[in-house]
Amino acid sequence: MPARVKPPENPVEIHHDGARVVAERGEPLAHALIAADRLPVARSPKLHRPRGPYCLRGGCDGCLARVDGEPNVMTCLRPARGGEKIETQNVLGTRGVDALRAADFLFPRGIDHHRLFAGIRGVSGIVQSFARRVAGLGTLPDATLLPTSATRRDVDVLVIGGGAAGLAALAELPEGAVLVDDGTSPGGRQRAIAPERARELVSKATGRGGELYAETTAIALYREPEQGDGRLHAVALGPASATLFVARAVIVASGRHAPVVAFGENDLPGVYAAGAALALWRGGIALGARLALIGEGAVEEALCRAVAGHAEVIRLREVDVVRAVGRAKVTGIVLRDGGRERRERVDAIVVGGPGSPAMELAVQAGATVEFDALSGYRLHADEDGRLGPALFGTGSLVGSDTPTASGAVTGVRVRRELALGP
């Protein structure tokens, strides 16, 4: 089971469904919940299947909880400051035993809510009203959130994403460029793979005067056609307020989504993306003494090196995995073994692989997407990463294996194109 490998250096106390949990100040709340083995964290909105943090990068729904009366907080993106009250949402019972899970057993093939009892006089209305009560995510906040004023900032270049590529791009841009990143601190996966290198990149990125905003999520990227000046508008939500950035050019360095591998019960808490498992380890949290690891790549190899001597890692091919085992969290894995199946006890299942590009923002701004059966989805970019007028992609988002070099090249190109000085 998960546990801290060293005690927190700067401990704070948070509360999860009334239980006291110790967190390291500044670490994401989800990390603290995992370290305290508080899985599951959430329930799926329809079938009430147990959910746990999977990606730890704001890309799944496994860590959603109510925090201090605010529903649907991604606890993997909310730093622990001490005193937070975290509550499980949408359960009838407890997060571990939710009576509404009956939906999962009663409808093993899923619920087609468009057709279920639809049009049957009297029944349809009752079913709809019941579904409205039990489905969905969260309930209204405890208090009405007062509107906060958004500010507008005109910038030459906005970089979205603070991983290796985004930081390297910012390092090539002069004062006035801004980078936003939704993580609790910049560095992205680089922070997990090579923490020292990530620190160097952060210091280099801000060395020329570039500004860096963590905990800030770009939620929209678009043009205002009637303004006709080609500038891109980005709405970014920070911890306290929103900013509308209006930029002459935008570099999107949003990386790739956590990989998903198809096997039975792959949504059980205790299944983690490889990048998430490595980030936890760097944060002093071990997932257990025995891990199953599917897939290979730089993150997966770094994870194996990091946990060597602490955990046994069973390397698996995707085709050999049948299903995860466990009621509310992973306790084992079933594998194909010749013509038979065999069960292994594991504390966690770690899923590796390239994932798909996190291209939603780029597409909002007009980038186009291609698909081929071998490499999956990819953004249509020229050799320098141009995705459209004033819009650039860089790093793993556009398929680069060398995000730092890719980010630097993009930064230089944008600097020259906008004539922003040497």
Q: Sign of dihedral through CA atoms 99, 101, 105, 110?
A: positive
The 26-45 contact track toward ligand FES, x by CB under 6 A, reads ----x---------------
Q: How many residues bind ligand FES (CB under 6 A)?
A: 12
User: Beta partners for 273?
Assistant: 351
One residue of 60, 236, 303, 397 binding ligand FES per CB under 6 A: 60
Among the listed residues 56, 168, 169, 247, the single contact to ligand FES using CB under 6 A: 56
Record the tokens describing residue 69, joined without a space: 């009366």
> Would you give the binding string for ligand FES spanning residues 368-397, x where CB under 6 A is met?
------------------------------
Binders of ligand FES in range 61-100 (CB under 6 A): 62-63, 74, 76
Question: Shortest Cβ distance from residue 38 to ligand FES (Å)?
Answer: 14
Vertex 238, ends 274 and 182: CA angle to 5°? 15
Applying CB under 6 A, the span of 42-50, 55-63, 246-254, 299-307 interacting with ligand FES comes to: 55-63
Calpha distance 177→210 (Å, rounded): 5
CA distance 391 to 384: 11
23 binds ligand FES (CB under 6 A): no
How would you classify residue 90: left for phi > 0, otherwise alpha for psi between -120 and 50, otherwise beta? left
Interaction of residue 59 with ligand FES, rule CB under 6 A:
yes
Query: Which of 78-103 are b and which e, b meaning 16 or more Cβ less than 10 Å from the residue's Cβ?
Result: bbbeeebebbbbbbeeebeebebbeb
| Distance in Å, CB of 419 to ligand FES, minimum | 40
**Of 20, 72, 8, 82, nearest in space to 41 by CA:** 72
Give the burial class of 203: count Cβ atoms within 10 A of its Cβ; 0-12 exposed, 13-18 middle, 19 or more buried.
exposed
Q: Among 58-66, 79-87, 333-341, 367-375, which window interacts with ligand FES (CB under 6 A)?
A: 58-66
Residue 315 CB, shortest distance to ligand FES, in Å, is 24
Q: Indicate whether 165 belongs to the interface with ligand FES (CB under 6 A).
A: no
Contact 407, 395 (CB under 8 A): yes
Instruction: For residue 55, state whether it binds ligand FES (rule: CB under 6 A).
Output: yes
Of all residues in the shown chain, the one whose CB is closest to ligand FES is: 76
Q: Does residue 53 interact with ligand FES by CB under 6 A? A: yes
Q: Is 275 in the site for ligand FES (CB under 6 A)?
A: no
Q: Tell whether residue 299 is a contact of ligand FES (CB under 6 A).
A: no
Q: What is the Cα–Cα distance from 334 to 342, expressed in whole angstroms?
A: 6
| Contact positions vs ligand FES (CB under 6 A) | 30, 53-56, 58-60, 62-63, 74, 76
